[in-house]
Structure 1
Amino acid sequence: MENKEHQYQETQAIALRVREHIVRMSTAGGCFIGASLSAVDLIVFLYTEFLNVTPFNLNDPNRDYLFLSKGHDVPALYGTLTELGFLQKERLSKHLSSDDHVYWHPNTNIPGIEFHSGSLGHLPSVAMGVAMDLKICGSDNKVVCIMGDGELNEGSCWESVLVANAYGLDNLIFVIDRNHFQANMRTEDLIPLEPLIQKFESFGAAVKRINGHSYTELHDAFNAYPFQKGKLNVVIADTVRGKGLPSIEERADRWFCNFSAPEIDQLLLELYGEHTTSLTSETLIVR
């Protein structure tokens, strides 16, 4: 497995830079850093290997769609869109500024963002509607909706699963970022979610559970799409909140963070480790 992961060195490099962007956005107002870091590998993989969507085909009716239902993870999406050429890097420095739309939740004024989100449980239904329209039109587009595990406490998520299966939407994939935290609590201490595989299967979905930080497992899962004809596809991706920064990983108090400039410098040193050259909060890392 480890040898196969080496095939994804460029993907890993992109993900590392996306994590840098997230760290840099966790100051001057802050961001939801923990959950954003857990979703990086999922989002980077989907855009670089699975989805047919680029900065040049956003108006192409044959392109694919990604909906970020857990909208507070948008720094991971901003960073990915920046690395892939959808969004200019300098706009990230305007995070939370009234001079731009780079904010705490997705905004469709930013190229590549399909729908406003932030109200948890909203976008599964939106993604389902898009997938249903594509089915009616006979199109082959893929539709992916990324959801948080805590978001599954919303009844609308399960309604979407029921309806998607009722209409045979096998062009739709729900990806669950299973980092085991909901805001500042562990999900199983608040409203237990397990056994998730059996719950989704009982609603009629075809389910795969993987390590959400393994590009090999991501490849194998999404390469099997559609998992079963006529059924909603569900990928439960086990992830680590704060992935990439051991000092904040799996910490309930590192949900939303607003770090000082010196703290940002220290986190970037931690992120890059021995590969880091001289850097400050005002200077991009030399790679």
Structure 2
Amino acid sequence: MTTSTPPDTPASAPPPAPRRSPGFDDLPALMSLMTGDEKHDAAATSTLDALWVLHDRVLRVSPDRPGDPGRDRFLLSKGHGPMAYYAVLAARGFLPADWLPGFGSYDSPLGHHPDRTLVPGVEIGSGSLGHGLPLAVGTALGLRARGRSGPRVWVLVGDAELDEGSNHEAIDFAGAAGLDRLHVLVIDNSSASHPLPGGAASRFTAAGWSALTVDGRDHEALYAAYTRPHPGRPHAVVARVEPKHA
């Protein structure tokens, strides 16, 4: 009786390695996909580290439920040069990376200023400087009126944007009202026309805010500043980066 030899059975393939979530080191490659007619490269790269640490380690908002009423709110007032913001949103799963190459094109949802009706995770349509901080104050007031004490409100502004009078009114009101769920992230690249002698943080502390100035490229310093307790007061973090003209 002849016994046939069974064909060789291939060894089981090893299980695929778990897919790695994009990290900070992936952001330059994501930004490089956006080749549209962008005139604010320095404005974009100045925010990259501060945006990443905030979205990766601090903000409580999920791409699976971007409209969750209990989410933290992030408002980008410094809306020009949004490439870093789009890259961070793609890395965090709010939008597909294959949207990025269309940046700035006629039919792309990724415009030269973010549009909250087109881009998941975007809270406001930003454009004119000086609007974001007052909108953040209104958002914090609205959450307080609804009895929502959990969500935090963050707004990113530029140092030159603080020249706008609307921001000074918002800073004074928020300090007097004790809006302790309100946080302002100032990207300071020495572009303000009227810089304060004591630095940007002095404007906030004069109005009763908690405020810190840190190296805007130091991730651990940024995280420590973002999470510093500030009971009963709004909080400002001034992130110093290289001057715009450098």
TM range (shorter): 0.7 to 0.9
Higher-RCO chain (CA-CA 8 Å, sequence separation at least 6): 1
TM-score, scaled to structure 1 = 0.73
Say which SS state the counterpart of residue 135 (structure 1) adopts: helix
Cα offsets for 1:96-127 (capped at 9, x unmatched): 11122211101111101111001000011111
Corresponding residue for residue 71 of structure 1: 79
Instruction: Please say if residues 161 and 232 of structure 1, whose CA atoms lie closer than 8 Å, have aligned partners that are also in contact.
Output: no
Structure 1 or 2: larger helix share?
1
| 2:109 alignment partner, one of 101, 104, 116 | 101
Structure 2 counterpart of 1:233, one-letter code: H
**How far 1:224 sits from its partner (Å)?**
1.4
Question: Is 1:175 matched up with 2:185?
Answer: yes
Gaps of 5+ in 1: 1-9, 182-186, 242-249, 253-287
Corresponding residue for residue 280 of structure 1: none
TM-score, scaled to structure 2 = 0.85
Cα offsets for 1:218-258 (capped at 9, x unmatched): 12112213x2x2212111111125xxxxxxxx436xxxxxx
| 1:86 alignment partner, one of 94, 110, 116 | 94
Query: What RMSD in Å do the two structures reach over aligned CA positions?
Result: 1.9
Gaps of 5+ in 2: 1-19
Corresponding residue for residue 162 of structure 2: 152
Question: Is 1:33 matched up with 2:41?
Answer: yes
| 2:207 alignment partner, one of 181, 203, 207 | 203
CA–CA distance in 1 between the matches of 2:146 and 2:228?
23
Instruction: Please say if residues 165 and 230 of structure 1, whose CA atoms lie closer than 8 Å, have aligned partners that are also in contact.
Output: no
CA–CA distance in 2 between the matches of 1:251 and 1:198?
24
| 1:219 alignment partner, one of 216, 223, 231 | 223
| 1:165 alignment partner, one of 175, 185, 206 | 175
**How far 1:53 sits from its partner (Å)?**
0.7
CA–CA distance in 2 between the matches of 1:73 and 1:168?
32
CA–CA distance in 1 between the matches of 2:140 and 2:84?
24
Corresponding residue for residue 129 of structure 1: 138
**How far 1:75 sits from its partner (Å)?**
1.0
Corresponding residue for residue 197 of structure 2: 194
Identity of aligned pairs, percent? 31
CA–CA distance in 2 between the matches of 1:77 and 1:166?
31
Matched pairs, number: 224
Corresponding residue for residue 26 of structure 2: 17
CA–CA distance in 2 between the matches of 1:163 and 1:156?
11
CA–CA distance in 2 between the matches of 1:88 and 1:179?
30
Structure 2 counterpart of 1:94, one-letter code: G
Q: Which has the larger radius of gyration?
A: 2
CA–CA distance in 1 between the matches of 2:226 and 2:194?
29
**How far 1:48 sits from its partner (Å)?**
0.8
Corresponding residue for residue 251 of structure 1: 245
